[in-house]
């Protein structure tokens, strides 16, 4: 992955492809997304893979405020939610995205930190959350 990053300063596509490949190996997820944080505090899709890529793209942009990505970036840690539409601890922003996509899912979100500033998050969604016991968390 470091090779892709060092040779792709202007073009993020190879970097995002490597991140998504790593996430595919770590998670049994039907949807993988990289969200980018713009200067306007809006989250936008930077890259997406999965069966519902077009639906995911249509659900964004969304404000960072009130999202799970905001919490992951602020706390600099990965988050998981087993039931996005009905979970009691799900941030309102994440629930609204699930409502816009039109279905419930489980999700893992990890902040992506560039230098000292947060600039993105990776988002792995599946119909149910079953992490593999032999895989380390993170991507």
Token pair of 60, please? 């964004």
- Encode pLDDT of 41-99 as tens digits: 999 998 998 888 898 899 889 999 999 999 998 998 999 998 999 999 999 988 988 89
pTM for this predicted structure: 0.77
Cβ atoms within 10 Å of 89's Cβ, excluding its own: 9
Q: Give CATH for domain 2-126.
A: 3.30.450.40
Give every CB contact of residue 14 below 8 A, 6+ residues apart in sequence.
4, 7, 8
Domain residue extents for the chain: 2-126
Cα 30 from Cα 23, distance rounded (Å): 11
């Amino acid at each position: 992955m470091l090779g892709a990053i060092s040779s792709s300063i202007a073009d993020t596509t190879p970097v995002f492809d490597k991140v998504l490949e790593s996430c595919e190996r770590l998670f049994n997820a039907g949807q993988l997304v990289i969200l980018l944080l713009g200067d306007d505090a809006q989250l936008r899709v930077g890259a997406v893979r999965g069966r519902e890529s077009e639906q995911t793209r249509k659900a964004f942009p969304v404000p960072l405020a009130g999202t799970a990505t905001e919490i992951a970036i602020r706390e600099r840690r990965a988050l998981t939610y087993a039931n996005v539409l009905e979970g009691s601890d799900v941030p309102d922003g994440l629930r609204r995205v699930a409502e816009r996509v039109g279905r419930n899912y489980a999700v893992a979100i990890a902040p992506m930190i560039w230098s000292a500033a947060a600039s993105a998050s990776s988002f792995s969604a599946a119909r149910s959350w079953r992490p593999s016991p032999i895989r380390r968390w993170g991507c």
